[in-house]
Structure 1
């Protein structure tokens, strides 16, 4: 029985092996062995069929095969592709750090007769961010303005690129341009700037910005903002302020992750206040936050720096008992401490 259009839309979803899914797509109705049978008509693919197989191949990083399907789609004159398909393709290339292939997709867009919106350009900015190509992000931004007007998301991506490239002053220039264009900054905008300030250990400015975004822009900080502040404060030795920020999170019922608690545990050891870490672990348990390898490694590192290797090994054993697998960092910290102490 010939495969129907609906059935072909279901089969790739059910088929876990992308190679078999591709085979089904290419040959949905193989010719029967009976040589006298009439040949079947060419299968009439629809947009959903193309979307499903492109997604399947992209997730499997079968990029050459994905390009072959895109080539077939280009020449299937019955179908007008949607922009989202190409956004997904660029996303696959971006996650694989294949920037040139993502840019090639941009060059080929006109041949698909697809109108590009700001969403497409924002998607194209992300691979450049992933690959750390800030200057090329700025070039694309200029090209983008010939087609569409950048939105808040566009500026947020560019600000993020500046911050991770450790070019914070450039990030502020982008922010100023964003405001000049009367685009409303978002929580993502301010969260990225606060992260950048904390990365540069400019925590006083970060704390002031947190207050400003609530007072001036009526934007409520989220867990990511508080995490940046706590890590930044711990890094500059302002443990009391960090603990105060944590209490603010508790008061405002903002969820805390193991990363925040791990930063506080490391800071307690560094400040000579290791006797306070059990209270942190107790709070984690009460708030339903399970310690992870980062938390245990913070404890192991703290005890090793104090040359309390027995306690460090106890924590290592506890990791296994609690179902948290030790990683190379766990062992390297202990071995490093033992060697430094002349015990290896």
Structure 2
């Protein structure tokens, strides 16, 4: 019920169910509720729930809890809080994984911080023995596009391939879409042909959107 209410955005109803539980919530219950609060931007209340977990000691926050929290902070442009949360995560002997770092890198890229700070985070991730994946680099592509560096984004697509990664439709579509918006149709078509040669195809809805632009 909590998950259902959260998916529908009915946070107040989710709160009533959570607070009215006749049994003690487990980590899955907490994580479900925290995820719903973070999606709604209720970061302060989500923090209170996590603090409740810590004080109770019966059900401590795990890697999913912290990663969800970091993702929420980043998507609501609270990067300082996200970094504090990651530091707390490490202090509590909960090791960040690639999803945790990807959430943070996404936040940096969405705020146009795709140079020193994003590279610092990627280096930190690699030093921890974690390998960046397609999602990591797609976040970087998004950041480059936000900054208007479309040629750099196109070059990064090539770099992904040289690293042995396989850019997906989302990665290609991101750059193609922005090229179309700028009227750089030749470059967009080159990327579209490259994508098709790799066995990837855009949905009809996306093709129609590109044609309109």
2-structure distance, mates of 1:105, 1:136: 15
Offset at 1:253? 4.0
**Paired residues of 1:227 and 1:260 also in contact (CA < 8 A):** yes
Aligned to 2:100: 189
Give the alignment's Cα RMSD to 1 decimal. 2.1
**Inter-partner Cα distance in structure 2 for 1:295 and 1:139:** 45
**In 1: Cα distance, 2:122 partner to 2:207 partner:** 27
Which structure has more relative contact order (CA 8 Å, sep 6+)? It is: 2
The answer for the alignment partner of 1:229 in structure 2 is 140
Over alpha carbons, which structure has the higher Rg? 1
TM-score between both structures, scaled by the size of structure 1: 0.56
Instruction: Give a deviation string over 1:104-142, Cα, whole Å, max 9, x none.
Output: 222232x2xx44322221111122122221111111111
Residue number in structure 1 paired with 2:200: 289
**2-side partners of 1:239 and 1:130: how far apart?**
29
1:153-192 matched pairs, under 5 angstroms: 153-192=64-103
1:133-172 matches, within 5 Å, as 133-147=42-56, 148-172=59-83
1:246 aligns to 2:157 (yes or no): yes
Deviations 1:42-92 (A, max 9, x none): xxxxxxxxxxxxxxxxxxxxxxxxxxxxxxxxxxxxxxxxxxxxxxx2111
Quote the Cα distance in structure 1 between the aligned partners of 2:124 and 2:211.
Answer: 35
Structure 2 CA distance for partners of 1:174 and 1:295, relative to 1, 3 Å: farther
Residues 1:182 and 1:290: Cα distance change in structure 2 (over 3 Å)? same
Distance 2:106 2:66 in 1: 16
Structure 2: which 5+ runs fail to align? none
Structure 2 residue aligned with 1:264: 175
* Equivalent residue runs for 1:8-47 within 5 Å: none
Report the TM-score when normalising by structure 2. Answer: 0.87
How many residues align? The count is 209
1:300 aligns with 2:205: no
Contact 1:213 1:219 in 2 (8 A): yes
> Is 2:110–2:146's contact at 8 Å kept on the other side of the alignment?
no
CA distance in 2 between counterparts of 1:298 and 1:185 reads 38
User: Which residue number corresponds to residue 212 of structure 1?
Assistant: 124
Q: Is the 8 A contact 1:259 1:294 kept in 2?
A: no
**CA deviation after TM superposition for structure 1 residue 218, in Å:** 1.5
